[in-house]
Amino acid sequence: MRRPALWITIFTICGIYMRLGISEMMCLVSFLFILVSISCFVIKWKSAKFLLFLLFPVLGFLWTGAHLEREAPILSGLVQGEGMIKEVGETSSGNQKLTILCDLADETGTAFQNVKVYAVWRGEDHIAVGEKVRFSGELSPFYEPAYPGGYDEELFLMTKGFDYKIYPDAIEHLEEDTSGSFALARGRAHFRSVLESILPAEESGIVKAILTGEKDDIPDNIYRLYTEAGVAHVLCISGLHMSVLAMYLSFLMEKILRRSRRASATVTILAVLSFLLFIEPSPSSVRAAAMICIVMVGRICFRLSDLMNTIALAALLILSIQPLYLFHVGFQLSFITVIGICLGTRKLEKKKKKDRGRFHWLKESFLISLYASLFSFPMVAYHFYSVSLVGILTNLIIVPLSGLLLGFGMLSGVLGLFSLPAGVFAAGSVYGILQIFKGVCSVLTQLPFAYILVGRPSPLVILLYYGILLWFLEFGGKKGSWKVGVVLGGAMFCAVFENAIFRKETTVAFLDVGQGDAAVISAYDGKTYLIDGGGVYGKEMGKNVGRNVVLPYLESLGVSRLDGAFLSHPDSDHMTGLLEVLEEIPAKGLYLSDYPFSETEDTLLLKETVEKNHVPLYTVKAGDGSEGFRCLYPFEGVTFRDGDDNHGSMVLKYDCNGTEILFTGDISAEDERFLLEKEPDVSADILKVAHHGSKYSSDADFLETVSPKAAVISCGADNLYGHPHEETLERLQSAKAELYRTDTEGTILVKLKRNGTFAIEPMTERKPFYENIKEKLEKS
């Protein structure tokens, strides 16, 4: 059998996914794939020994479960810890992020040794690698995704082996570690400081990322530019850099020093592993190092390695150490891209003898870049919602120069360790190469359709995409192959448009934006509406929840234009995030209550943003409506004299397939009574509870008249206002409404079905398929 390592790795991955995967369909596909594949092996080779392959999905499943069960011990209240600083970085807000290996104890005296803590230090004291510190504070839970597909801090930090997270109240410097255990980390920190001294801030941030893996200092605009140009992989230690390093060493050993291939391979292995220890390892750098070492071992043993088996062994090695890496974006992109290059290269080799034109090397380079991009597109879209079409061209220029950048960068850094002037002189070439990179990226990203928003594809769409791609590489052009292509293409079309064609399901997402309101309605016909946008008081525009939560969610849906935005009233906890969205994507119109709101900084900002982005502003009152929306409040000409602008909150009813949702803004009980006097039809299936669950809203009579089957409260965890109040919760319970809260359950997803029914799924219930089955069995 060819490539047994490849099949072992595939079956192990299936086992890991069946333990952690959320998608029921993909878990079922994994299970059926294992059974069908192994059955085919047994039938084809007429040997029962292939049944041993069944062990590997089982091992993957159990090994992943064992990793998940290694939960950190529970500590309560304030904790104190003492330990060593292993790593230091910087958060996007400018605070220090620390990796501390320490002993921890809580107020009850419960103590645990050798735990790994992720700490965010907001103090002014600078903490250095290798320092011994004593700290105290209250442990914080790992953040779960704010929306489907959002950043999963819990998974990310668990993958890196962290046990706890803390925002220390105080850190006391004890002593500096003088042993050799932190010498490597201190050396890395010193090397970074040298790079900062010999290069400007922008360029040193890039070179530090390339040579040491530290990406915190890359400017946001540069990272965005490289991403849109499709060359963000240059900004980290990827397989490209490790391969260039190996190529430099091989050239030095074999061509200059005239050493044997075995000696060259031995030195390359030692150098690559040393470099891996020096940097901050990532899945892509570990993958590249593993593959290089496997190939070099083959050289030493005079054995040719099979590239696909080498890729499989590298993946199996990483997953055996940490199975959670299967869901890490770096792991996925690194392996799927190198697989694309491998398969593309193999196809090119079949045609190489036939095509030896003058510029065959350019054609081959273009095709390899094309294959790498085609294989990476689905994973890039899944994690970042957009793909760079010009990346195919950008890589043709950037990748060859990356080898020079790496070489000159290492030379500059090493010279700078001994003489800063020498390092500065050598860094001139680094600066020049980076200016070329910046210029190329800037020019190519200006081309039409250079960077397109596609949204987050479903696992089924990704699976069919790769099926079509592999079919084309293996059978494209062969007689009769078009029939299979038509079937796969038809399946792909149905998978992409299945909601619009078959289910016709509209989704309403009550987003977890903290102490504020934000809801997104994405209809099956492709129309999207935003109702409020949340906003954290005191947090500046551009760094608020609109940028961090609402906009990424819209991008995950592939939304590049809003069909309508509704602002219940111009309070910052409803408006700031909405304005951030309008800064980035156009809207057909912004709808605001027809009410004389007070002139404040918020209302001035609203007018400025609308005018600057050319968004039509409409005012609506009771009785206005279209496309399933109907405004119930405020009434025309009604003004309250107490100066409270919450009275002007828009009450909006949305009707989809007979299911009605009532959005109530921040109206009070007084407004509710006024509304009931003049509006006979306020009933709804789902109620967005007014004013985040304030006791001064959601009057018993109002709830009885609305008679909701479900109620959603949007509020922040441990907010200063005590929302939702106990009185409100009791009234909702008396109204027999099923209650959902964003502070405890995260984003609330409501699926409005074509038959008039609906289903509600909080983010906290989006658990692995296995966990859901386990819970059901335990309850039964």
Between CA 120 and CA 185 the distance in angstroms is 19
Between CA 548 and CA 238 the distance in angstroms is 27
Contact (Cβ atoms closer than 8 angstroms) between residue 706 and residue 680: no
Beta bridge partners of residue 651, listed in sequence order? 633
Average pLDDT over residues 297-309: 84
Between CA 316 and CA 310 the distance in angstroms is 10
Q: Who wins on pLDDT, 274 or 55?
A: 55
Contact (Cβ atoms closer than 8 angstroms) between residue 691 and residue 697: yes
Q: Who wins on pLDDT, 265 or 351?
A: 265
Could you count the other beta carbons within 10 Å of the beta carbon of residue 604? 11
**The amino acid at 49:** K
Contact (Cβ atoms closer than 8 angstroms) between residue 666 and residue 690: yes
pLDDT > 70 in the chain, percent: 97
Instruction: Give which of 724, 658, 667 is closest to 686, Cα–Cα.
Output: 658
Instruction: Give which of 525, 532, 495 is closest to 507, Cα–Cα.
Output: 525
Contact (Cβ atoms closer than 8 angstroms) between residue 381 and residue 454: yes
**Whether the predicted pLDDT of 740 surpasses 70:** yes
Q: What is the pLDDT of residues 20-46, one digit of tens each?
A: 988 888 899 999 999 999 999 999 888
> What are the start-end ranges of the H helices in 144-219?
153-159, 183-198, 201-212
Is the N-terminal amide bond of 57 cis, ω within 30° of 0?
A: no
- Please give the mean pLDDT across all residues of the chain: 90
Its pTM stands at: 0.91
- DSSP of 298-347, one letter per residue? HHHTT-PPPHHHHHHHHHHHHHHH-GGGGG-HHHHHHHHHHHHHHHHHHH
Q: Who wins on pLDDT, 658 or 214?
A: 658
pLDDT at 299: 85
The rounded radius of gyration (Å) of the Cα atoms in the chain is 29
Between CA 302 and CA 296 the distance in angstroms is 9
Could you count the other beta carbons within 10 Å of the beta carbon of residue 123? 12
Between CA 776 and CA 180 the distance in angstroms is 52
3-class SS of residue 87: strand
Instruction: Give which of 106, 102, 107 is closest to 172, Cα–Cα.
Output: 102
- DSSP of 22-72, one letter per residue? --HHHHHHHHHHHHHHHHHHHHHHT-GGGGGGGHHHHHHHHHHHHHHT-PP
Which 8-state DSSP code applies to residue 723?
Answer: P
**Whether the predicted pLDDT of 303 surpasses 90:** no
**Whether the predicted pLDDT of 353 surpasses 60:** no
**Whether the predicted pLDDT of 230 surpasses 70:** yes
Contact (Cβ atoms closer than 8 angstroms) between residue 128 and residue 88: yes
3-state secondary structure 452-492: EECCCCCHHHHHHHHHHHHHHHHHCCCCCHHHHHHHHHHHH
Could you count the other beta carbons within 10 Å of the beta carbon of residue 577? 32
Which of 97-106, 442-451, 537-546, 648-657 is predicted with the least confidence, judged by mean pLDDT? 537-546
Between CA 10 and CA 33 the distance in angstroms is 10
Contact (Cβ atoms closer than 8 angstroms) between residue 340 and residue 374: yes
pLDDT at 481: 65
Instruction: Give which of 199, 185, 183, 129 is closest to 411, Cα–Cα.
Output: 199
**Whether the predicted pLDDT of 355 surpasses 80:** no
pLDDT at 68: 80
Per-residue confidence at 697, pLDDT binned at 50, 70, 90? very high
**Whether the predicted pLDDT of 598 surpasses 60:** yes
pLDDT at 774: 82
Between CA 12 and CA 4 the distance in angstroms is 12
Tokens of 277: 């220890």
Instruction: Give which of 87, 85, 84 is closest to 280, Cα–Cα.
Output: 87
Burial class (CB in 10 A: 0-12, 13-18, 19+), 668: buried
Task: Give, rounded to a whole angstrom, the gap between the first and last alpha carbons of the chain.
Answer: 45
Which of 94-98, 497-501, 533-537, 757-761 is predicted with the least confidence, judged by mean pLDDT? 497-501
Which of 84-93, 134-143, 442-451, 755-764 is predicted with the least confidence, judged by mean pLDDT? 84-93
Q: What share of the chain is helix, strand, coil (3-state, %, to 5)?
A: 55, 15, 30
**Whether the predicted pLDDT of 63 surpasses 90:** yes
